[in-house]
A and B are shown apart, each in its own frame.
Chain A
Amino acid sequence: MKLDAATIAVCGLICSLCSPQVNAQSLTLSGSVTAAATAQPIDQATVTATRSDNAATVSAETGADGKYVLQDMAPGIYTVTVKADHFAAKNANIGLSAESHTLDISLNELPNAPSAPSMEDLGFSAQQTQANPQLQTTLARRTEMLKIHQRLGLITTIPMAAAVITGPMAKAKGKNGETIKEPTQANLDFHAALGGATTALYFSTAYFAIAAPRVAGTQKHGAIRWHEALAFIHGPGMVLTPVLGYMAYKQENAGEKVHGIASAHGTVAYITSASYGAAIVAVSWPIHWKFWEKQ
C-alpha cells in the first residue's frame, strides 16, 4: 500500500499529541523499496528514519526482496530517506502513532549512471584473486627455515676460517723448515676440532635449506641459482675434506709424512672454503658498495 506521506505525517502527529500513552511504545515501520520504472525490488537500499524533534535515527537495509523493517521507534514525526546505488535518493515524512506502519517507496533510476569499477571488471582470474592460506603457511615455514639457514651459514664461516688458518700450522715448521715435534700434536688436535665443528655446522646449515618447503610452480632465477650451483662444489668438498683430513691426521700421528690422496686435504679444503664464500657472496649479489655511507 502506498501512502501519501503528508497525510500520514498529519495523522500521525495528531494521534501522537492526543495519545500520550503511546510514547512508551516501541513501534515498527516497514515496507518495500522498488524501482519506479520496473517495480523490481531494490536490494541493499538504505532506509533511514530521522525523528524531527531530537534527530534520533533508525536505519536498515533492504533485502533481496526489497523489503525493510525499522524497529524500536518511538511515536513522533520522522523524515524517511531512502538511498540506493544508481537511483535518485528520496525523502518522505511520516508520523508514527500506532504499533505498526507501512511505507512503500519507489525510486527513480539515475540516467546513464555508470557504476564505479569493481574487481570483477578488471578481469583477473579466480586463481589470481583467491586467497591460499595453505600456501601462506608453507611460505612462513619456508622463510623461518631459511632464516635459520642464513644464521647457521654465517656462524659456520667462523670455525671454517679458523680451520683454514690453522691448517698450515697443524704441521708446524720451525724457522729452518724442520718439523716441530711439540706442540705439533696440539696444533693438529685444535685444527681437527675446528674442522669437526665446521662440518657439523655446515651440514646443519644445509639441512635447513634442503628441508625448507618448495613452492610449486616457481621457476628459479637470479642470484639464488648461483648460490645453489656452488653447493655442488662445497657440498662434496665438505664431505671429502674431513675424510681426507682424518686420513692425514692418522698419518701424522703415525709419524708418517702425509701421502696419497690425504695430501689433497688442504687443496680440497681451500676449494671448499672458497666456493662456500662465493655462495654467500652470490646470494648477497648485487652488493651495495659503500653501504656504510648510507643514512
Chain B
Amino acid sequence: MTGRWLLPFFLAALPLAAQTSTQWVLEQSTLSYHMSHPMHEVDGISHAAKGKGTCHAGQCDFLIGVPVKTFDSGDTNRDLHMLESTRGAQFPMVVVRTQFPESATSSPTVYADLEVQFAGQTAHFQHVPFQRIAQGSEVRITGTVPVTCSDFKIDRPSFLTVPIKNEIPVRVDMTWHSN
C-alpha cells in the first residue's frame, strides 16, 4: 500500500525584503504526506527537496522539486506501493511552482497559489497559507498543502483490500536562504 506515496510536496517560499533582485536557495526541508487508513496512520517523509527562487522588480518566482521515491514511510513495501500508485517511475519528480508579488511576503502568514506537477498531472492550490519566520538571512516556511488523491487522478492505494482516505495532506517545513 504505499500507496502511499504520495506525494508530495511543497512549498512556498517567501522572502522578506523587497530588494531589486534576490536569489533564494532552499537550504533544508522536511516534506511529509499523511495517509489515513482504517488500520493505519502513516507519514511519509522526504528531506530531498531542492528549490530556488528569484525576486525581481517586485515579482517572485519559486520552484521546488522533490523525487517521489525519496519519501520514506518506514516500510519498503509500502513505499514501493506508493511509487507504483503515484506513477512515480514514469513521473519521478514532484514539481511545485509559485509566483507572488514580493510585497505579499512581509506578513507572518503568506498566502501562495501553487502549481503542483505530480503523477503526470498538474493541480493548482489557491491561497494556501504558510507561516513565515525570518531568522537573519534565512526564512522558515511552514504550512500544509491540502492534497488529495483525486487531485492527481491517483487510484487510492489499498491495504488488506481497504483503500486509504482520499486526503493526503502534505506538511511543509522549509528553510530558505537568500544570497
State the A residues within 8 Å of B (CB).
Answer: 112-119, 121-124, 128-133, 135-136, 138-140, 142-143, 146-147, 150-151, 154, 215, 218-224, 227, 283-284, 286-288, 291, 294
Contact of A119 among B56, B62, B76, B95 (CB under 8 A): B95
In the complex, the 3 A-B pairs of residues with the closest C-beta atoms, listed nearest first:
A222-B75, A139-B84, A116-B61
When distances are taken between beta carbons in the complex, the residues of chain B under 8 Å from A221 are 74-76
When distances are taken between beta carbons in the complex, the residues of chain A under 8 Å from B161 are 147, 150-151, 154
Are A224 and B75 within 8 A (Cβ)?
A: yes
Are A131 and B61 within 8 A (Cβ)?
A: no
When distances are taken between beta carbons in the complex, the residues of chain A under 8 Å from B67 are 124, 128-129
- B103 part of interface (Cβ distance < 8 Å): no
Known: A112-B21, A128-B93, A288-B40. A121 touches B56 (CB 8 A): no
Contact of B87 among A112, A116, A136, A294 (CB under 8 A): A136
- B77 part of interface (Cβ distance < 8 Å): yes
When C-beta atoms are compared, the residue in chain A nearest to B50 turns out to be: A122
Contact of A117 among B40, B52, B78 (CB under 8 A): B52
- B135 part of interface (Cβ distance < 8 Å): no
Q: How far is the CA of A121 from the CA of B95 in the complex (A)?
A: 13
When distances are taken between beta carbons in the complex, the residues of chain B under 8 Å from A118 are 63
When C-beta atoms are compared, the residue in chain B nearest to A139 turns out to be: B84
A157 vs chain B, min Cβ distance (A): 11
Number of residues of chain B lying within 8 A (CB) of chain A: 45
A115 vs chain B, min Cβ distance (A): 7
When distances are taken between beta carbons in the complex, the residues of chain A under 8 Å from B78 are 222, 224
Residue among B56, B84, B95 having the largest count of chain A Cβ atoms under 10 Å: B84
When distances are taken between beta carbons in the complex, the residues of chain B under 8 Å from A128 are 67, 92-93
Residue among A116, A140, A218, A294 having the largest count of chain B Cβ atoms under 10 Å: A116
